[in-house]
């Protein structure tokens, strides 16, 4: 079964020649990761800002109220 797959051409096997090989795949995955980071990092920064601002404003009833929730758990050594 695998010999049939590997003996076929790239296009016939449904593979994109620009993604075949370790180096090409690495470059492709780096581009995906960079795009994802650029899209998600501003959202993370906004969430941190909102949590810190709620702490500064002593406004714990915001959507991040669970972050400021006091739990009745004690740490023990």
pLDDT, tens only, 11-59 = 777 878 888 889 999 999 999 999 999 999 999 999 888 888 877 887 7
Which residue intervals of 8-64 are DSSP H helices? 22-57
Residue 74 within a domain: no
First-to-last alpha carbon distance for the chain, in angstroms, is 58
Residue 73 within a domain: no
Q: 0.75 cut: is pTM over it?
A: no
Please report the pLDDT score of residue 60 as a whole number: 65
Residue 30 within a domain: yes
Residue 41 within a domain: yes
Please report the pLDDT score of residue 53 as a whole number: 84
Q: Which has more confidence, 18 or 65? A: 18
Distance CA 76, CA 1 (A): 58
Please report the pLDDT score of residue 19 as a whole number: 82
Residue 32 within a domain: yes
Residue 33 within a domain: yes
Domain that holds residue 33: 16-57
Q: How many domains does the chain have?
A: 1
Please report the pLDDT score of residue 46 as a whole number: 92
């Amino acid at each position: 079964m695998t010999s049939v797959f590997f003996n076929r051409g790239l296009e016939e096997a449904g593979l994109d020649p620009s993604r075949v090989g370790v180096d090409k795949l690495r470059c492709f995955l780096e581009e995906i990761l960079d795009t994802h980071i650029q899209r998600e990092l501003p959202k993370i920064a906004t969430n941190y800002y909102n949590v810190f601002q709620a702490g500064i404003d002593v406004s714990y009833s915001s959507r991040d109220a669970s972050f400021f929730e006091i739990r009745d758990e004690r740490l023990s050594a």
